[in-house]
Amino acid sequence: MFRNFILAAAIAGTATIADAAPQVELWRLDCGRIAVNDLSVFSDTFAYAREKKTLTDSCYVIRHGADYMLWDTGLPAALLGKPLAPGEVLAPTLDRTVPDQLKEIAIKPEAIRLIGISHYHFDHVGQAADFPKARLMIGKTDLEALKASPAPFGADPSLLTPWLSGGAPLDTVEGDKDVFGDGSVVMLSAPGHTPGSHALLVRLAEKGPVLLSGDVAHFEKQFETGGIPPFNTNRAESLASMARLQAMARTLGATLVVQHDADDIAKLPAFPTSAK
């Protein structure tokens, strides 16, 4: 009898904790497109010769209870409406800004309390300064690289002026970071593309775990070929990070979303519908 009482109390306690856990919701945003007119620039093994591909530039809003977080902030707003240049190896353009899309789902810019950055490249931090009061979370070694002279390949430190100038709150992330302290949203150390690159794990009640890749890979085929972009900062770390995400996806039964792959992001609902 006593044992049954204890068991019932434990089950009731677990249910109470589950009921009290903040709801987590995830939206994918359109944060630009990049026409790649020579895909071989993404492989150091001579793969993709004479291939072309248009990469999407996705970023994400996560609602954790009453708190809102942005994961990456896409291409700079200065590229809004820019025609795709067929003669350029990489031709970026932007169709909608992040604030414009937030307005559609009734989220005010000032409600964004946190910005998580997968890495320092301009196509992932482009609109961060539109949220100057948010706390920025970025890999420690990526932040150090941004302060170097000259700036590393693909980086534009001016896009992060509110934080680099000391005028906005900043968290430097080493290793993995449990963003809200309950395991629901975790920045995952995934170096190689840049020294402080991260991916993001989001645990959703209905959809299940979702892994957002950052730039661990740019399209699904890279997992098959093992080719690494020559501009990655460390080849061995790049391969290890790819292997980590794939193993984690298998272990957790997670949906792995390659953020630059237009087919891959279709694993999540089209904006403005969210995943829960």
- Per residue in 219-257, pLDDT tens? 999 999 888 999 999 999 999 999 999 999 999 999 999
Rounded-to-integer distance, Cα 260 and Cα 58, Å? 6
pLDDT value of position 18: 44
CB neighbours of residue 22 within 10 Å:
13
- Output Rg (C-alpha) for the chain, integer angstroms: 19
Question: In the predicted model, is pLDDT for residue 153 greater than 80?
Answer: yes
Mean pLDDT of the chain: 92
Q: What share of the chain is helix, strand, coil (3-state, %, to 5)?
A: 30, 25, 40
DSSP codes of every residue in 168-185:
S-EEEE-S-EESSSSSSE
Q: What is the CATH number of domain 23-265?
A: 3.60.15.10
- Look up the pTM and report it: 0.91
Q: Residue 177: which of 257, 114, 109 has the closest Cα?
A: 114
The per-residue pLDDT for range 10-58, each reduced to its tens digit, is 434 433 334 468 999 999 999 999 999 999 999 999 999 989 999 999 9
pLDDT value of position 20: 64
pLDDT value of position 28: 98
Domain positions in the chain = 23-265
Residue 9's pLDDT band, with cuts at 50, 70 and 90, is very low
Q: Residue 139: which of 55, 198, 62, 216 has the closest Cα?
A: 198
Share of the chain above pLDDT 70, in %: 93
